Copies of this chain bind each other. A is one copy, B any other.
């Protein structure tokens, strides 16, 4: 059960066919930052006038490139822009050396791409506490620049992987008036998570025209209900970064488009689900749906208490409809709950009601639901209208194997 496999059993059948986004070009290269025999640096070049929004880890020990990006997001400029990402080394907890590395790379990218340094955004993902050999990155920039191509996004998704078992991509097309705009995004991450070799990075591109404030507002709002609603193991990375760029190449303004905002949300949720589906050792994809809480915030607190409970995650791995552990998690979460108003369901099966086992409960039916690959745990608090849904995976021998059995 839960042994490590080459590709997650929850992986999509194939990488999606992502549309070309006018105004952005991609290149990847094997720079040998840490890994051998694979690409490990990706460059995305954005057309002049692109607007850029971002959300980042709230970790107090966040990495140097994260701090640099955060300082630059929100600025407006008519110039082009660039995103450069390396895998293999997170440039995190690297003291002043980390800042020097970011400075060297962003300056070199600005020179090669002929853009202001304030428009260069970088991310690093991989081992923590090791100095980033930034000269290996700057040495390949001219070659990267020469390789830029419209259709390089699938290769980009591969170059940013660390412990991921599959590359992650998603796209959408939105009709605004009589015209169509496209959105395409890529992500890496095998959890929220593991600062050692697996942080979460997400890059989303659109050819729509979206003002920077509108872009940031949409991104921040949707992050709360997508990437901030997933967890693999409750451990938050020092490098999590999500950058959304609108090139405007389509000439279609989507700043006020609800359809565009909705499509963006769905694309972000799709990528977030793929990160959970590549959770370390995962064999089950789990939705936790809370209703009837006193507030939405309480609902999310309860949902995360369930999603992060080792006892619930191991019960799911063992295909055990152990609803007593759900009662436990609700009780410990700290958010408002009344034991005697609780109801709990697994899939469509009511397992508990009014503070006791449901009179219609069938252990056999609940056990059958737990045998599936997609598990739904529903809890109604019976207190108000607060609701939240989060997604997680099970906790298996595979997680222990990846994180304990092998020295990193």
Contact = CB atoms under 8 A, between A and B. Distances in A.
Contacts of A325: 194-196, 235
Interface residues of A, number: 68
Given A60-B339, A93-B352, A309-B235, A404 B328 contact: no
Nearest to A406: B318
A147 interface: no
Given A129-B323, A339-B61, A408-B322, A328 B403 contact: no
A219 interface: no
A328 to B, nearest CB: 4
Contacts of A236: 328, 331-332
Nearest to A407: B320
B317 A355 contact: no
B404 A314 contact: yes
Copies of this polypeptide in the complex? 2
A105 to B, nearest CB: 19
A311 interface: yes
Q: Give chain A's interface secondary structure class.
A: loop
Contact of A403 (B57, B95, B318, B331): B318
A396 interface: yes
Contact of A328 (B128, B355, B405, B406): B128
Contacts of A2: 400, 404
A332 to B, nearest CB: 4
B194 A311 contact: yes
Contacts of A322: 196, 408
B328 A60 contact: no
Nearest to A192: B332
B61 A404 contact: no
A397 to B, nearest CB: 5
Interface of A: 1-2, 57, 59-62, 92-95, 97, 127-129, 193-196, 233-238, 308-311, 314-315, 317-318, 320, 322-325, 327-333, 336-340, 342, 352, 354-357, 394-397, 399-400, 403-408
